[in-house]
Structure 1
């Protein structure tokens, strides 16, 4: 199937915003690591309680400017092995600098290292007023979070999501919804033709991947698009490359590859080497510099834009608001978009991607 001839059918949904898009600063990736104070107000959805089983309300979000002291906050990430979590690192560090609080960033080295993440959180909590958690496991951190709450710590659940009822607040988009919108883009692009897709949700057991799998498969159930191969695995290019090779071997007539951003990035050279670039369309359900470049060059058809920088800034602000005993929303999610080449010109990439010159930073001291 020559999927490039079908791109126009999907363009109508490319600029879809699930909670409003806000103003655009253009499509170029940010090139400076200077702290930005102009990210707000930004369009968000807020929920009256944590989770997604209540009615969300669209509104504008701005961080507090009333910070009484340099609070100590630590942020725990599964890893810093891809550009997505690098954007999250940028977000928490920059917002800590803007607000004038201290921030330490920890990374556990991968989704197989739950015990290491637990130990890192327990260690950093001893000297922190608040902990921001990008969880390796939906359920595995619940006893740790329960203890943090009992010790009077503020706990912010962000990006991946946990099932614990003991977190203070959430800065968390619906991966179920964003993957559903990616699937809808695929449906619109296929224009009713019977097509097949290999699906790469991410690590088994990780909250974001499990929720994305639900949204993607539910949206495609009973449609003309058949998910013929689902491959779970860590979100690094080596792991995803091996899974893509396996999927192509098992499905030689495949029409699409869809999934996590490292899978979309890895697919480009693999398809090029097999002369399949014009035959197999590639989609991602979150944006990285690699998928951004892929859309520009044509190796990626479209990518959802999960605004990792905004999510991380909001998580930091929620922690500060809770520590300051200010009013705060229990669950906040920035606006989502699905981006293809036609939408790049109007998309504000600074919500989602770290600057090109940003390297991982593990601490910021306001003292």
Structure 2
């Protein structure tokens, strides 16, 4: 463990050329590990994640995603596919088609295992619904890596993910620093996403906790589906009901959709937009000065780490059981310095389902 600690504290800068890091040079990466691993009350500890140079053999890794309908999961796909190529392992990716397709995800993973997968990386549709399957795979001696979404099973071998509570609190802290206690109060319209979804509840709590004691007054949260039309209507209604609003904060879809309203109503400079996670649309909005800021969870790196963890476990090498990229806020001050292919898929990237 002493060697592991020493290895993980190595620091180095990624090679940057023209503002973009070469894919092969993503490691070391600023990260946080959770101690004890998998514990709900585990404490984050800063580490520098160092990936392997190469795998010792072309291991067969199965990757399962809920869907590939948006740029977020496309970014995770880019991460797992590129890391599989870099390490020299085989990767087969399946996607279930949506969050209603739990049975399909289970069936796809069972087929993967039956066809000889030696490790399984799962972006879970359900926090609890895959537990029986994970237990069965674990009994076969096949490691399961939990990526992005979270699985409650104690039988997972490792986790590569971040906390949506931290994503929400990072966005809230950004505003609280701009408007500390004692300064003039500012009103924020807050749109956390669909009510009842685990990631939404976590982000909502993080955001609200972060602004406590500051001059930021958050109006009643407006929950709603992350479809563009739904968010557009929610923002329009909120602006009409509360003309003193200084910020619109919420999902990436909220920020993307609200750009048009702000322009149409002549509110540029009067109402600023903030998202609590990153998408290509939000990234472009920040570059163009239309969106103020958003935390980045480096979904590409989460995918890369999951593949590295799988290979480390298969090769019986030391590995960090519960880790995720360090969350940081992207705004106009640093948007041109952040290596884009760490936090988003490259422009025009097409899904990759197989790496041989």
Q: If the TM-score is normalised by the length of the shorter chain, which range does it land in?
A: 0.7 to 0.9
Contact 2:171 2:294 in 1 (8 A): yes
Structure 1: gaps of 5 or more residues: 1-18
Deviations 1:172-230 (A, max 9, x none): 12221232121011112234332222323334454433322221122224543233242
What is the CA–CA distance in structure 2 between the aligned matches of 1:277 and 1:112, rounded to whole Å? 39
Contact 2:231 2:253 in 1 (8 A): yes
Structure 2: gaps of 5 or more residues: 1-8
Aligned to 1:60: 48
TM-score for both structures, normalised by structure 2: 0.86
Q: 1:185 aligns with which of 166, 174, 182?
A: 174
Aligned to 1:244: 235
Aligned to 2:5: none
The 5 A counterparts of 1:265-276 are 265-276=256-267
Residues 1:314 and 2:305 aligned together: yes
What is the CA–CA distance in structure 1 between the aligned matches of 2:306 and 2:191, rounded to whole Å? 27
Contact 1:75 1:103 in 2 (8 A): yes
Contact 2:194 2:223 in 1 (8 A): yes
TM-score for both structures, normalised by structure 1: 0.83
Report how many residues are paired: 344
What is the CA–CA distance in structure 2 between the aligned matches of 1:256 and 1:105, rounded to whole Å? 40
Aligned to 1:46: 33
Aligned to 1:23: 13
Aligned to 2:148: 159
How far apart are residue 28 of structure 1 and its match? Answer: 6.9
How far apart are residue 235 of structure 1 and its match? Answer: 4.0
Once structures 1 and 2 are overlaid, which stretch shifts more, 71-80 or 104-113? 104-113
Aligned to 2:92: 104
Aligned to 1:77: 65
Cα distance, 1:253–1:291 mapped onto 2, change above 3 Å: same
What is the CA–CA distance in structure 1 between the aligned matches of 2:113 and 2:315, rounded to whole Å? 18
Cα distance, 1:164–1:210 mapped onto 2, change above 3 Å: farther
What is the CA–CA distance in structure 1 between the aligned matches of 2:191 and 2:11, rounded to whole Å? 27
How far apart are residue 171 of structure 1 and its match? Answer: 0.7
What is the CA–CA distance in structure 2 between the aligned matches of 1:362 and 1:343, rounded to whole Å? 33
Cα distance, 1:204–1:43 mapped onto 2, change above 3 Å: same
Q: 1:36 aligns with which of 23, 29, 40?
A: 23
What is the CA–CA distance in structure 2 between the aligned matches of 1:338 and 1:283, rounded to whole Å? 11
State the Cα RMSD in Å. 2.8
Task: Name which structure has the greater RCO, CA cutoff 8 Å, separation 6+.
Answer: 1
Deviations 1:326-346 (A, max 9, x none): 221111122221121012233
Q: 1:282 aligns with which of 247, 264, 273?
A: 273
Aligned to 1:134: 123
Deviations 1:79-128 (A, max 9, x none): 22222211111000000111111212222333343343333333333222
Aligned to 1:11: none
Contact 2:29 2:49 in 1 (8 A): yes
What is the CA–CA distance in structure 2 between the aligned matches of 1:257 and 1:222, rounded to whole Å? 19
What is the CA–CA distance in structure 2 between the aligned matches of 1:22 and 1:296, rounded to whole Å? 27
Deviations 1:259-307 (A, max 9, x none): 2222221221232233333322111122222111111112101111111
What is the CA–CA distance in structure 2 between the aligned matches of 1:21 and 1:182, rounded to whole Å? 27
Contact 1:29 1:350 in 2 (8 A): no
**SS in structure 2 of the partner of residue 193 of structure 1:** coil
